[in-house]
Structure 1
Amino acid sequence: MSKKIIVKYWPNQQSISLNNAVVDLFIETEKKLALNIDNQSQQYLYLDILNNITRTELLQSILNEFKELILDMIEINLDPTMLVKLNKKIIAIFIHRVSSNFFFKFKFDHKTFDNSKLKDYYSHLIDCLLTYLIFGSSYIENDIFLFETLYTPYNHVKVLLEDFIIQIGNIMMKQLICNLHNSLNINKFLKQQNICNKLYTSNRSIILFLNNLKWQNLVQSYIYDIKSFYNERQKVWIISSEGIISKYIYLSKDKKIQSLNQIKIIFIFWLEIKDLLIPKTEKFIIQIAKYFLYCSINLFSNLILILIRIIVFYLNK
């Protein structure tokens, strides 16, 4: 007999069950951060420039600060609507606080995070994560994800939390790199603080790393993000047994079309046309190919018959 899989759901309302679920989630995530967090996604992250020890410390610091943020949000008793309105400001303050605490030991003067750089789709995922942790799943809008809000899988919230931690760490390292301005300063700072990934210990390797990141971000922004938008998918980063990997989850983006610029809208229009025309074109080409193959076979058969008759005719002579 096959074993019945029991799905664990996230609590719907503020309750003891929700508090226990949040505590369990944080404990599980802490344990995963203590394991391997190498980047196994085949894509570059700004976090890659740190060695394993520092990367782990950074992500653990983010998780610890996030615990305090959740407690603060519960204490001030914000309603869900106000939470969504203040989301970007809350995250900007959070990133500044984490950066201040983490980089203080390195005596690095970082700049305040610009919340306008936080992408809308990612801001929306943070809205959902905060709502899940503070209010429960019943306060999430319907039709955002594939499942009904009252039956939100526990693992779904776990994915959002892991993605949040990795994304915040990535934003912080991007901010650090931007504040250092050039590869020489980056190389000098990382070496002095002994926090550099051994793969990027030379100035040349750092330049190559940053160029690869810029190219990847450009392609991601103008191709993959738009394709994901069109297919209503969202890439998230999770911590697996092998390390950090990327996955895709369903995320409805019907309301986000207004935020796209003209180039991206044209690309989406092209995808629509492609999806409309290519299947019909393929069908037409296949049909033509079948007729061509049929005619070719008939022609070849007739030529063989004619050739046989000619040979028989000359043999009879």
Structure 2
Amino acid sequence: MNTILNEMTIKYWPNRQSISLNNAVVDLFIETEKKLTLKTNNQSQQYLYLDILNNITRTKILQSILSEFKELILDMIEINLSTRMLKKLNQKIVKIFIDRVLSKFFVQFKFNNTILNNNKLKYHYHNLTDYLLIYLIFGSSQIENDIFLFETLCTPYNHVKVLLENFIIHIGNIIIKQLIDNLNNSLNINKFLKKQNICNKLYTSNRSIILFLNNLKWQNLIQSYIYDIKSIYNERQKIWIISSEGIISKYIYLSKGQRIRSINQIKIIFLFWLELKDLLIPKTEKFFIQIAKYFLYCSINLFSNLILILIRIIVFYLNK
């Protein structure tokens, strides 16, 4: 009875294009907009490029991304792309979207936009963005069944909500990373942030900015070559969401097959090592445990026999 009641209370995402889907998208944007007015400070125990901004500026950027994303979704609905064409153009669409948000951000703070044009935008693209766009434009029926833990026709509303929150934070991180890369060094970064009055108080000195950037580089390196591979192996994907405490990270299930094609040879070797480790270590542990048991058994027997011999010797001498 409780199971039936729980299933009835779960809100599912609409399956196909309809008024219900349009209403769900509107509700989702309204809910997310309200959440962005709450805390957006980083509570994930990991560094984000967004951390270098004060709370007011960080919130404004995330709100601006959401606003631009609304326009993007409306434009794409008007264009009436097919699902196949959307999947084919997804990366280009997101690239154009990031360029648009970057340009508006730089204009807002009177940053030299020619620097952006002279630097190639680099960002980590993953399939979660594809799925988010499909959910919002076509509904859940256009998602393959083996991607997530649930059937596509029973996609929870909250699942799409966390994908949207993750997308907004991910894009915000890319924008600030691009800003930092364009400013080139810690002195320029410090000068720009102070001049615009958008700096986090924790990073007001040149030394603190250098430390922050070094920590980010080291974290990204470890994330890319260790934790991301482990996530693929365990079929998980880290996402960023907005909680009542601020920005936190969580993991969701994501099919390994969808991501393994995009990793390089070094990462494939590490992934192979993880597979091999899980195959060999249990057997090796079992072997050593068995050897340890035999050794312990023999040691106890030997010790017991030695004690018996010692007792007999003592008794023999006492009888004499």
TM-score by length of 2: 0.94
Change (3 A) 1:114 1:8: farther
How much does 1:136 deviate?
Answer: 0.2
Find out whether 1:28 has 2:28 as its counterpart.
no
Q: Which residue type is aligned with residue 76 of structure 1?
A: I
What is the rounded CA distance, in whole Å, between the counterparts of 1:288 and 1:51 in structure 2? 59
Q: Which SS does the other structure have where 1:44 is aligned?
A: coil
How much does 1:2 deviate?
Answer: 5.8
Q: How does 1:100-115 map to 2 (within 5 A)?
A: 100-110=103-113, 111-112=116-117, 114=120
How much does 1:252 deviate?
Answer: 1.2
Over the residues paired in the alignment, what is the CA RMSD in angstroms? 1.6
Change (3 A) 1:311 1:2: farther
How much does 1:38 deviate?
Answer: 1.1
For residue 303 of structure 2, the aligned residue among 296, 300, 303 is 300
What is the rounded CA distance, in whole Å, between the counterparts of 2:73 and 2:190 in structure 1? 36
How much does 1:105 deviate?
Answer: 2.1
Structure 2 residue aligned with 1:189: 192
For residue 150 of structure 1, the aligned residue among 153, 172, 178 is 153
Structure 1 residue aligned with 2:124: 119
Structure 1 residue aligned with 2:11: 8
Q: Which SS does the other structure have where 1:246 is aligned?
A: strand
How much does 1:255 deviate?
Answer: 4.5
Q: Which SS does the other structure have where 1:86 is aligned?
A: helix
Q: How does 1:152-171 map to 2 (within 5 A)?
A: 152-171=155-174
What is the rounded CA distance, in whole Å, between the counterparts of 1:146 and 1:2 in structure 2? 21
Cα deviations across residues 53-99 of structure 1 (Å, max 9, x unaligned)? Answer: 00001001111111111111111111111111111111111111112
The answer to whether the 8 Å contact 1:51/1:198 transfers is yes
What is the rounded CA distance, in whole Å, between the counterparts of 2:84 and 2:139 in structure 1? 14
Q: Which SS does the other structure have where 2:46 is aligned?
A: coil
Q: How does 1:79-90 map to 2 (within 5 A)?
A: 79-90=82-93
What is the number of equivalent residue pairs in this alignment? 314
How much does 1:256 deviate?
Answer: 3.9
The answer to whether the 8 Å contact 1:129/1:160 transfers is yes
The answer to whether the 8 Å contact 1:183/1:206 transfers is yes
Structure 2 residue aligned with 1:200: 203
Q: How does 1:1-317 map to 2 (within 5 A)?
A: 4-5=5-6, 6-110=9-113, 111-112=116-117, 114=120, 117-120=122-125, 122=126, 124-317=127-320
Q: Which SS does the other structure have where 1:142 is aligned?
A: coil
What is the rounded CA distance, in whole Å, between the counterparts of 1:140 and 1:2 in structure 2? 29
Cα deviations across residues 235-275 of structure 1 (Å, max 9, x unaligned)? Answer: 11111111111111111131443432221111111111111
TM-score by length of 1: 0.95
